[in-house]
Amino acid sequence: MGGLRERKKQQTREAIAQTARALFVERGFEAVRVAEIAMAADVSQKTVFNYFPTKEDLVFWRLEAFEEEILGAVRERAEGESALAAFRRFVLTPRGLVDDEDPAARDALLGITRMITSSPALLAREQQVFLRFTDSLARLLAEETGAKPDAVEPWVAANAMMGVHRALVHLTRTRVLAGATTMQVAGEVRRQGERAVAALEGGLGGYAIR
């Protein structure tokens, strides 16, 4: 029964988020009220806030799992592999809509990109999320290397790696808004991502090797 309840909760969560995203893409994030989302999803406003404490969470709710994926890729790297090599493999692997060649995926990606880039609230929240990712990665690197509490190196390394991720997100959005296909976007992200990581190799290639 517990498993069934969890599945139903997850289904409700996803249904609310999908309803919200459709409304946000159609009308813009700021123009849509939570009451409208609740009505369209056939739930109460209280239910919406039970699953999503803030309106921005309706857009970024999957990023908590994404954060754990990034940390897991570094934490579970192979013996003899550096943190940068593990991060490179993760960040350069296409996923989500960028990895879908269906024209409908490109349209969906365009709609989401326009929604986020046109909303100051979403852009601000995204920066907070990126900072949280960076802090989490820095703590992991500090723990793995046995760094002292006031050591700067883990924070510098984490900021450099996450800087690549943030730059590739920006590149993706720029290319999508310019009319590129998902295949074109994936190819350019791969090429520029490889060059960006190569630029870090001199300083971080031998850092935090397991």
Task: Tell whether 7 is covered by a domain.
Answer: yes
95 and 134 share one domain: yes
For 117, how many CA atoms within 13 A lie in the half-sphere containing its CB?
15
Quote the tokens at residue 39.
């009505």
157 and 88 share one domain: yes
Last residue of a domain, one of 54, 71, 98: 54
User: CA angle at residue 60 from 6 to 45, to 5 degrees?
Assistant: 65
Confirm if 28 and 115 have CB atoms less than 8 A apart: yes
Q: How confident is the model at residue 14 (pLDDT cuts 50, 70, 90)?
A: very high
165 and 139 share one domain: yes
User: In terms of Cα–Cα distance, which of 91, 105, 122, 123 is closest to 176?
Assistant: 105
Last residue of a domain, one of 13, 34, 54: 54
Number of domains forming the structure of the chain: 2
pTM: 0.90
Distance of alpha carbon 78 from alpha carbon 73, whole angstroms:
10
Task: Show the domain range for 44.
Answer: 2-54
Task: Tell whether 85 is covered by a domain.
Answer: yes
Task: Tell whether 84 is covered by a domain.
Answer: yes
Distance of alpha carbon 73 from alpha carbon 92, whole angstroms:
12
User: CA angle at residue 9 from 6 to 15, to 5 degrees?
Assistant: 140
Task: Tell whether 209 is covered by a domain.
Answer: no
34 and 130 share one domain: no
Quote the tokens at residue 203.
């300083």
113 and 138 share one domain: yes
45 and 74 share one domain: no
Return the CATH number at 131.
1.10.357
- Greater confidence (105 vs 163) lies with 163
152 and 76 share one domain: yes
18 and 81 share one domain: no
129 and 87 share one domain: yes
pLDDT at res. 1: 62
pLDDT at res. 130: 94
Task: Tell whether 210 is covered by a domain.
Answer: no
- pLDDT tens per residue, range 110-166: 999 999 999 999 999 999 999 999 999 999 999 999 999 899 999 999 999 999 999
User: CA angle at residue 207 from 203 to 208, to 5 degrees?
Assistant: 160
18 and 109 share one domain: no
DSSP line for 78-106:
PTT--HHHHHHHHHTS--GGGG--SHHHH
175 and 72 share one domain: yes
User: In terms of Cα–Cα distance, which of 28, 56, 65, 55 is closest to 123?
Assistant: 56
Quote the tokens at residue 74.
């570094």
190 and 157 share one domain: yes
Task: Tell whether 139 is covered by a domain.
Answer: yes
